[in-house]
Each structure stands twice: as structure tokens, then as C-alpha cells.
Chain A
Amino acid sequence: MNDSIQWISWVKHGVVFGYLIAMYMFLISMAVGAHLVTLFAKAYYRDEDFLPLQKVGTFLPLLILLLMPLLLAVDMTHPERSFTMYYHWNWTATVAWGAYIMPLCVICYAFHSFYLFRPEMMVAVREGRPGSQLYRVLLRDKIEEGTAAEIRQRQQKAERLWANLSIVFSFLALIYVGMRLASFKGRVMVHSLVMVFMFISMAASSGAAFMILLGRLKTAIAPPPGPALAKQNRFLADFGVILKFALVAQLVIWIIYLIQLNFTGTGGKLAAYIFLSGPRSFYFWAFQVVIGLLAPLALVLFASLRQDVRASAAAAVATMLGAFFAVADLSIGSQLIPMTHLEWETLASEPLKMAFGIIIMVILFLLFLASYKILPYETPVSQKSEA
């Protein structure tokens, strides 16, 4: 029927949420995922030597979440008015919920990080180690007696409280990013609760990948003393197991999602077509499936590969790339379907926004590296508990 139809006049509306917003959602899910994966791993191991990795999984996500609003601000036309959301709150809007969830998430991560580093900072101040001036300011000059293990024992209640709160807000953050896309009623590709599960699975995979990559970097830049190194390497190899199962979960959820789309009328079929052979098919097959899913799955399948630094780092980078393109394909792909005519909507190039996003990523990476040198990630052997 449509073959005989010619479109004479129409208006193109374009894509409004570009790569910057995709980067925002991806980085939130990765940061939150890294934190959750670390917390659950800590609950499983209950090992003192896991603490440095727990610090990586708490403080670095905090840095990411602190810089993320910049990406939003650049995408907004009136970022100076963003505080309006706090006092002119519209409870039916997902973004309005995010305006509260994300800062609360940052506060929880900040306090949790503080309590994780606190015992080592106190020891460093008492021993006059490099950085003690900074630590003294952070500790507000309240230095306690005892070993790092003893101080940690005393502050256990507070540390646990912030850890539990950060779990709650991490899940809320994932629900927020999922619902942010799912709330768009007219966009058949994303208007589904599957988005929340999609973000949870991507958070698990990209979070585990983040921990593998940044954990390996930490052990290279600030190596732990003595036998702790072997233990940390084992923990990092175990993150590969988490990554393996997270990738399988991601694969299952994507298959369910694509099947669901195929049963959601013409619009749903078109949405599936966008991924499989339409305008986003190259990104879907090349970046999401081959690089982001199959390659890392192959690289973490066997224990020997998970223990190999290069193989696990490559798997981590590939997973992150795949997760980013998954978010971009969902966010941008959903806007490619026209709603008033029959031409694909197009994404205008945004070189300045892209450059800004890349600069933010570079700054984040430099901050990660600087934190390894400045903050006391490792506990000296003499300060560990005797048990």
C-alpha cells in the first residue's frame, strides 16, 4: 500500500538526546555497578585484603558521579536554572526524582569513602607520612589511637550504615536511568520496564569491567605490600567470573527485549529492525555484540585468561565499549523512528559536545591515577588485624 505513497512536505525533528546523554547514562550505570559489585564481593569475601579494591569501587565511582552533572549541564540550554528542580518539583517527572536521587547517592558514596579511608589516614597522620596535612584537614584534626584495624573496628557501625544506604541509592539510581528512558510514552523502543533490568545488567557487567581495569591499574601504580598482591590478583580474577555471568545475563535480557519488540506491533518490529539491520545495525552488531559481548565473554570464559592481566584488561575495555554503545543505541535509536512522517530522523553532529565528553573522560582518568598516588589505598602490614 505504501509503495504508492509519495511524501511531498513534512518537518524533520531530529534527535535531541545525543551521545552526551548516552555517556551520562552509561557512566552512571557503570559507576553505580562498580560500587554494587564491590560491595557484594566484600560481603562475600570478608577479607581485609579486599579493602583496597573496595576503596577503588567506592571512591572512583564517587568521582564519576561528581563530574556527571557537567555532561547534563552542557546538554541543557539553561543549566543555570537547574536548581529550579529542587523547589519547583514535578513529582511525575523521572528527571525530577533523579535530581534528588543522584545527589543523595553522591553523599552516601562520599561518606562511605571517607569511612573506608579514615583508619589509614589516621595512621598516616600519626606517622607523618606524605599527605598527612591533607588527611588532617579531612579528619578535622580528630586523630584516634590504635592500629588501622582497631579504628576500623570502632567505626564499623557508621561504615556499615553508609554502605547500606549506598546500596539503596545505587539501585534507585539504576531505576532512575532506566525509567528516564522508559518514561517516554511515544517511543516504542524504550517505553518498557525492561529498560530498568537492562541497566541493572549493564551496570553489573560494566561495573565488574571497571573494577578489573581500575583494580589492575591500582596494583600496578600503588602495589600492595607482600602477600596482599597475590590475594588482590585473585580477587581481580574473580571479578572476571562476575563479568562472565553479567554478560550472560545481559545477553539473555537483550534476547528477551528483542523478542518482546517483535510482538509490539509495527512500531516494535521497526524498533527491532533498527538494531538488527536498520540505521543502528553497525553499532549493534560490531560494538554491542561482537566487541562488547562475544569478545569479552571469550576472554573471561577460562580461569587462565581471567588471571592474565592483558586478556582481562582487554575484556574490561571491550565490555565498557559495548555497554556504552548499548545505551547509545537505545537512547539514539529510539529517536530515529519518525512520529509524523516516514523518513528516519537524523542525529546532527555535535563536535563540541563530543569534545567536551572526551575531555571529561580524560579528566576522570587522570583523577583516578592521581588518587592512587594521594590517598592511602593500602593498609600497612603492621596496621592489619592480627587474626
Chain B
Amino acid sequence: MKNRGKDMGRREFLKKMGATATALGAGAVLIQAGDLVQAATPPKKYGMVIDTNRCIGCHGCTIACKSENNVPEGVFRSWVLQITKGKYPHVKNHLLPRLCNNCEDAPCLNDCPTGATYRTPEDGVVHVNRDICVGCHTCVLACPYNSRFINPLTGTADKCDFCYHRITKGLKPACVDACTGKARIFGDMNDPRSEVSLYLSKYPVQGLRTYLDTKPKVHYVYADEAIIDLDYSFLSRRKS
């Protein structure tokens, strides 16, 4: 019986190997380029603007999120930071509602070893696939906003996904619906007529740790610098 392997010369073998590698490489580049094009121009870009002037600190969003998404005790998908600034009688109260920023360049997504963290290309929302998450904690550490946690019930990474089960049905996220002061404005940032786009064009907006270039999709309006841009030197001046 003829041995085909032995018939093939070194030159021919290298040629075939080269052709296969080139085809594979070109395929990979095309797939990546396709993904990039899709990511660059998603049909929708869900985002949120939080007007901190309207927040009254009722924690209604925290409760609504917990009950809507069955978030266990001790962990939060959405919460509200509260500080007071100044000395009596000149004291001001500042609030900062927090949630996952669903960043356009999400470090958690880049650091997830299994791809359990993924982005839906049609709207840019970042999700966690509970079926393949190994619970390695890497994304929890990678998130520069501490928006992630390991859900004690499922043992997998968890975070806010803008109540995806609601927004895909045309509803608003639970926290937006529950907000007493209407401080949370949610919508498609690619739609120039949406409430969120109008708000973004009308007010100067701030973001959390923007210097990291993660492109967060949760924006703040009128947030005090003491709460949005933490002065860490305070910690080194205080006894640990």
C-alpha cells in the first residue's frame, strides 16, 4: 500500500502548511474585523444618565433591583453612596447611585477566561452567562468600579445588566421605574430623540474613573467631586 505521507516532499509539506496557516490567519482576522465593525456601530447603545440633583437617597432603586433580580443579602447590583460635606451649619448632603457601567471597553469582559462575560452586539449590554462561569473571581477584581460580586446563590459572577429581561420587552429597568425623584434616565444613546440622548446633549456629564478609558455608559450630572472623584489621600492621613 502506498504511504501518502512519505510521498510528500518537504517543500510540498511546507507549502501546504503555509497555505493552511494563511487561510486560518485570514479567517481569524476577518472574524475579528467583523466583530469590530459590529461593535463599532451597534444598532442600539443602552445607557443611563443619573441626575444626582434629583436623587433624594430613598434607596428605592436598591430595593427594586434586589426584588426584581433576586439579589441575595449582603451583595448589590445597584446601591446608593451617601456623604455629607462641610461643618454645621454649612452641611450639604451628596448622593451617588451606583450600578454596573456596562463599559464599552469592559475590563471584566477582557479578563474573563471562559468568555462567560459577553456583550450583546445589538445593544452593547454586558452580561454573565451563568452556565459557563467558573467563579474564578477574576472579573470581580478586574472591574475598576467594584460593580461585580459572586452571587452566593449561584456561585457565579453577577452584576447589573440594565434588567435585560425588562428592556428587551420595551420596559424600563426596575431601578428607573422605582426612582422617586426620576433621577435615573435610561434609553438608547444612539437614538438622538431618546430622553437619555437629549439629557446628554443638554447637560455637562461626568463619569467614574474616566481616565481608565473604559468608556462607561452610566453618566452622572451634577455629581459632587468629593463623591465621584475620591480623594484617597484621606485614607493615608487617617489611622488604618
A6 with B84, Cβ < 8 A, contacts A82-B134, A186-B142 known: yes
CB contact between A93 and one of B81, B111, B235 (< 8 Å): that residue: B111
Q: Convert B108-132 into 0s and 1s, putting 1 for each residue whose CB lies closer than 8 angstroms to a CB of A.
A: 0011111110000000000000001
Q: Which residue of B lies closest to A11 (CB)?
A: B79
Residues on A with C-beta less than 8 A from B144 are 185-187, 339
Question: Within 8 Å of chain A (Cβ to Cβ): is B212?
Answer: yes
Q: Do B209 and A85 have beta carbons less than 8 Å apart?
A: no
Report B56-78 residues with CB < 8 Å from chain A CB: 57, 59, 76
Residues on B with C-beta less than 8 A from A96 are 113-114
Q: Convert A205-229 into 0s and 1s, putting 1 for each residue whose CB lies closer than 8 angstroms to a CB of B.
A: 0000000000000000000000000
CB contact between B146 and one of A13, A84, A89, A344 (< 8 Å): that residue: A13
Q: Convert B126-159 into 0s and 1s, putting 1 for each residue whose CB lies closer than 8 angstroms to a CB of A.
A: 0000001111111011111110011000011000
Question: Within 8 Å of chain B (Cβ to Cβ): is A380?
Answer: no
A342 with B235, Cβ < 8 A, contacts A5-B84, A8-B83, A185-B212 known: yes
Total residues of chain B contacting the partner, CB 8 A:
53
A341 vs chain B, min Cβ distance (A): 6
Q: Do A84 and B132 have beta carbons less than 8 Å apart?
A: yes
Which of B81, B113, B233 has the most A CB atoms < 10 Å from its CB?
B113
Report A1-39 residues with CB < 8 Å from chain B CB: 1-11, 13, 16-17
Q: Do A85 and B137 have beta carbons less than 8 Å apart?
A: no
A242 vs chain B, min Cβ distance (A): 34
Q: Do B142 and A78 have beta carbons less than 8 Å apart?
A: no
Please list the residues of chain B having a beta carbon within 8 angstroms of any beta carbon in chain A.
Answer: 57, 59, 76, 79-87, 93, 98, 107, 110-116, 132-138, 140-146, 149-150, 155-156, 209, 212, 214, 226, 230-237, 240
Can you name 20 A-B pairs with beta carbons within 8 Å? A1-B231, A7-B81, A8-B93, A9-B81, A10-B79, A11-B79, A13-B140, A76-B134, A78-B135, A78-B155, A79-B134, A82-B134, A85-B114, A89-B114, A269-B233, A270-B233, A340-B81, A340-B230, A341-B230, A342-B230
New A-B pairs, 13, CB < 8 Å, besides A77-B135, A267-B232, A339-B146: A4-B85, A76-B136, A77-B155, A78-B134, A84-B114, A85-B113, A95-B136, A99-B113, A183-B142, A184-B141, A266-B232, A339-B209, A340-B146
